[in-house]
């Protein structure tokens, strides 16, 4: 299948380790943030979201941390599995408007056995 | 529930030809989005519909791109004439409402190659 993100930064981890993927966002007025996972040949898949009135949100094996002071977002994946290998995008939702999202450049996560 | 359906999956055309993509959103979703994803980049919003009305087309190259959602359900995106820089994956997404913070659910896209 097609390869998403040929020239993206890559994070390589061992199976079972924890992964941390970072994202810097640009707009101070953004108040909603989402992480998407995109496998080769597939569309982005929603993972977890967080609103700007929160610093942390947990899901199943994933945690998102938001630092509004430095405009930084991170996605933590616990006990990384081979099926987690994909490109991960953060997206910011601009305040006002109609649910418009601005996507970041993405990070490729490579999980090694 | 069935996901967002897109067709075709792949399309190869020569520059200056025209092409059309089709999208059927998740049943009941009022809001539909078309994105362009160039290889190595994140998706970029082209146009957003709320039911059958356009609410944002600020990044749509209107001299060559057009989109419609006549009955507020499925949608088509057209490029005429195509340029080499239009080579990309065209993704359709939908959300239940246009309300902020509603997760957008994506289809698997149409990969367009311009020769």
User: How much is the mean pLDDT over chain A?
Assistant: 90
> Taking CB atoms and an 8 Å cutoff, what residues of chain A touch B108?
41-43
> pLDDT class for B98, splitting at 50, 70, 90?
confident
Q: What is the pLDDT of residues A18-71, one digit of tens each?
A: 999 999 998 888 889 999 999 999 999 999 999 999 999 999 999 999 999 999
Give the C-alpha separation, B85 to B17, whole Å.
13
Q: What is the pLDDT of residues B8-18, one digit of tens each?
A: 999 999 999 99
Local structure of residue B85 (DSSP, 8 states): G
**Placement of tokens 């809001």 in the chain:** B31
CA distance A76 to chain B (A): 20
End-to-end CA distance of chain A: 22
Contact pairs from chain A to chain B, CB under 8 Å? 74
User: Does B2 contact chain A (CB < 8 Å)?
Assistant: no
CA distance A113 to chain B (A): 25
> pLDDT class for A7, splitting at 50, 70, 90?
low
Note whether B101 contacts A101, CB cutoff 8 Å. Answer: no
Q: What pLDDT does B110 receive?
A: 98
Pairing between β-strand A107-112 and β-strand B10-13 as defined by DSSP bridges: unpaired
Q: What pLDDT does A94 receive?
A: 78
Which residues, including other chains, have CB under 8 Å from residue B63's CB and lie 6 or more apart? none
User: Does residue B111 carry a pLDDT above 50?
Assistant: yes
Q: What pLDDT does B90 receive?
A: 98
> Taking CB atoms and an 8 Å cutoff, what residues of chain B touch A21?
none
Per-residue CA distances from A43 to A89, B11, B37, B109 (Å): 12, 17, 10, 6
Q: What pLDDT does A3 receive?
A: 40
**Percent of all residues in chain B with a pLDDT value above 70, rounded to a whole number:** 99
Give the C-alpha separation, B23 to A13, whole Å.
36
Q: What pLDDT does A2 receive?
A: 39
Please say whether the dihedral angle defined by the alpha carbons of residues A27, A94, A4 and B12, taken in this order, is positive or negative. Answer: negative
User: Does residue B19 carry a pLDDT above 80?
Assistant: yes
Please say whether the dihedral angle defined by the alpha carbons of residues A2, A100, B28 and B24, taken in this order, is positive or negative. Answer: negative
Q: What pLDDT does A26 receive?
A: 83
């Amino acid at each position: 299948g097609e390869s998403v993100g040929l020239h993206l930064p890559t994070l390589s981890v061992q199976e079972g380790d924890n992964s941390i993927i970072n994202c810097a966002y640009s707009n101070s007025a953004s108040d909603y943030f989402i992480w998407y996972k995109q496998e080769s040949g597939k569309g982005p898949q929603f993972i977890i979201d967080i609103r700007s009135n929160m610093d942390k949100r947990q899901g199943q094996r994933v945690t998102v941390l938001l630092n509004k002071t430095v405009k930084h977002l991170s996605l933590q994946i616990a006990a990384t599995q081979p099926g987690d290998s994909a490109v991960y995008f953060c997206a910011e939702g601009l305040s006002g408007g109609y649910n418009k999202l601005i996507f970041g450049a993405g990070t490729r996560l490579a999980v090694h056995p | 529930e069935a996901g967002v359906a897109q067709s075709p999956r792949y399309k190869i055309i020569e520059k200056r030809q025209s092409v059309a993509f089709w999208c059927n959103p998740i049943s009941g979703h009022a809001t539909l989005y078309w994105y362009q994803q160039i290889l190595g980049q994140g998706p970029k919003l082209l146009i957003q519909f709320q039911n059958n009305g356009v609410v944002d087309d600020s990044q749509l190259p209107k001299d060559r791109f057009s989109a419609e959602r006549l009955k507020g359900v499925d949608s088509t995106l057209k490029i005429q004439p195509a340029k080499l820089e239009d080579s990309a994956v065209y993704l359709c997404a939908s959300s239940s409402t246009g309300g902020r913070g509603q997760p957008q659910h994506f289809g698997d896209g149409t990969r367009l190659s311009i020769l």
